[in-house]
C-alpha cells in the first residue's frame, strides 16, 4: 500500500466510526513511508498542520485544546515527530515513533473535546472564554454608555454583546471580522439609529461584518434581547441561523471546524484593537 492509499483508508476511517473513539486509534503506515509525503497527503484535505513534536522534543505547552491527545498515547522518548490537525470532533495526526530497528511512521485519531466549552474556568461567560482564547487583556479607557445608547434605541441590547464590547472595545478578531461598536472608528454613538423604534421588531439587524462578504446579524423580535439569535448572510448564498448569542457564535466561529470558517484551523487566535472608543 502506497502513501496515498494509506491516507485514503485513514480518511475513510475518520469519516466512519473508529473503534473505541474515546481512546486514541493508532495505525502504522506501510514500511518505508516518508513522513514528508505523509504530511503532504494529510495536508491536501486537512490544511495547515500544527507541529506537536520534532526531533524527539514534544512541545511542553501542549494541552487538550492544542493537540495533547495525539501525543499522550506514546511513552517517554517514544514520540520523535508529530504533526496534528483538527477535524470536527477529532484530532488527527501523523508522525514518527521510535522502534528497535528504525523509526516507523504512524497516523493517529484521538477524541477532541468541544473547543468552545472545554478547558475554561468554571462559570466563565462566553465573552470571558473569548477573551481567554484570544489572550486579550482589556485596555483602560472610555466605555460605551449603554444606558444612553439603549434609551436612544428604546430597547436593550443582548448582554453578551455588551460584555464583549466592554472587554474588547472596537477591533478585529483574527483580522477576519469585526463588531459594530458604538463609539468605534467610523461609527457614531449609536450605529443602529436608522432602525429607529423598529430595531426589535423582528428584523435582521447587523452586529458585525467580515472582509469576506459575510454579514453577521441578529434575528430580533423576542421581547428579551438575550434570546435574539445569530443569522449569517454569505454573499450570494442562503442565510443560516444559529441558536445562540453573539459571544458563543464568535467563539465557535474561531474554534469549531464543523462551522467551516477558516480561522478554526489556526493554531491560535487574537484580537486587534482599533483604539479607544469616542463619545
| Mean pLDDT score, 13-30 | 77
Confidence tier at 233 by pLDDT (50, 70, 90): confident
Q: How far apart are CA 59 and CA 68, in angstroms?
A: 9
Q: Is residue 120 part of a domain?
A: no
Confidence tier at 107 by pLDDT (50, 70, 90): very high
Beta strand residue intervals within the chain, DSSP E: 25-28, 50-54, 57-58, 79-87, 90-97, 104-111, 171-173, 177-179, 204-210, 214-219, 229-234, 240-242, 271-273
Domain span at 21? 3-111
Average pLDDT over all residues of the chain: 84
Say yes or no: 160 and 197 in one domain: yes
Q: Is residue 34 part of a domain?
A: yes
Q: Are 27 and 60 in contact (CB under 8 A)?
A: no
Say yes or no: 106 and 238 in one domain: no
Q: Is residue 279 part of a domain?
A: no
Say yes or no: 231 and 130 in one domain: yes
CA–chain centroid gap for 118, Å, is: 12
**SS3 for 14?**
helix
Q: Which among 87, 111, 135 is the end of a domain?
A: 111
Say yes or no: 42 and 9 in one domain: yes
Say yes or no: 106 and 131 in one domain: no
Say yes or no: 77 and 134 in one domain: no
Q: Is residue 278 part of a domain?
A: no
Q: Which among 53, 80, 111 is the end of a domain?
A: 111
Q: How many CA atoms lie within 13 A of 172 on its CB side?
A: 11
Q: Which among 111, 134, 156 is the end of a domain?
A: 111
More confident residue, 57 or 182: 57
Say yes or no: 106 and 158 in one domain: no
Q: Is residue 94 part of a domain?
A: yes
**Residue 64 burial class via C-beta count within 10 angstroms: exposed 0-12, middle 13-18, buried 19 and up:** middle
Q: Is residue 224 part of a domain?
A: yes
Count of domains observed in the chain = 2
pLDDT in tens, 164-179: 999 998 888 988 888 8
Say yes or no: 170 and 263 in one domain: yes
Say yes or no: 132 and 61 in one domain: no
pLDDT of residue 13: 81
Say yes or no: 64 and 26 in one domain: yes
Say yes or no: 157 and 100 in one domain: no
Q: Is residue 89 part of a domain?
A: yes
Q: Is residue 142 part of a domain?
A: yes
Here the CATH number for the domain that contains residue 245 is 3.40.1580
Question: With 80 as the cut, is the pLDDT of residue 204 above it?
Answer: yes
Q: How far apart are CA 47 and CA 141, in angstroms?
A: 39
Q: How far apart are CA 148 and CA 3, in angstroms?
A: 63
Amino acid at each position: 500500500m502506497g502513501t496515498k492509499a494509506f491516507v485514503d483508508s485513514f480518511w475513510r476511517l475518520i469519516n466512519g466510526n473508529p473503534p473505541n473513539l474515546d481512546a486514541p486509534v493508532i495505525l502504522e503506515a506501510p514500511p518505508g513511508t516518508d513522513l514528508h509525503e505523509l504530511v503532504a497527503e494529510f495536508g491536501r484535505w486537512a490544511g495547515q498542520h500544527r507541529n506537536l513534536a520534532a526531533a524527539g522534543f514534544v512541545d511542553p505547552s501542549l494541552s487538550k485544546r492544542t493537540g495533547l491527545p495525539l501525543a499522550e498515547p506514546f511513552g517517554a522518548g517514544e514520540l520523535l515527530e508529530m504533526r496534528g490537525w483538527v477535524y470536527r470532533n477529532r484530532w488527527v495526526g501523523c508522525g514518527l515513533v521510535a522502534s528497535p530497528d528504525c523509526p516507523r511512521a504512524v497516523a493517529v485519531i484521538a477524541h477532541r473535546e468541544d473547543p468552545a466549552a472545554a478547558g475554561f474556568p468554571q462559570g466563565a461567560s462566553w465573552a470571558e472564554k473569548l477573551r481567554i482564547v484570544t489572550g486579550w487583556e482589556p485596555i483602560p479607557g472610555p466605555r460605551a454608555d449603554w444606558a444612553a445608547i439603549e434609551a436612544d434605541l428604546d430597547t436593550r441590547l443582548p448582554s453578551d454583546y455588551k460584555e464583549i464590547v466592554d472587554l474588547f472595545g472596537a477591533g478585529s478578531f483574527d483580522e477576519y471580522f469585526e463588531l459594530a461598536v458604538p463609539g468605534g472608528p467610523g461609527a457614531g454613538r449609536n450605529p443602529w439609529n436608522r432602525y429607529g423604534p423598529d430595531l426589535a421588531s423582528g428584523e435582521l439587524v447587523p452586529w458585525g461584518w467580515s472582509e469576506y462578504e459575510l454579514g453577521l446579524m441578529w434575528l430580533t423580535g423576542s421581547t428579551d434581547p438575550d434570546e435574539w439569535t445569530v443569522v449569517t448572510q454569505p454573499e450570494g448564498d442562503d442565510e443560516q441561523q444559529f441558536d445562540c448569542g453573539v459571544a458563543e457564535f464568535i467563539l465557535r466561529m474561531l474554534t469549531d471546524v464543523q462551522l467551516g470558517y477558516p480561522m478554526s484551523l489556526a493554531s491560535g487566535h487574537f484580537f486587534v484593537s482599533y483604539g479607544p472608543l469616542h463619545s
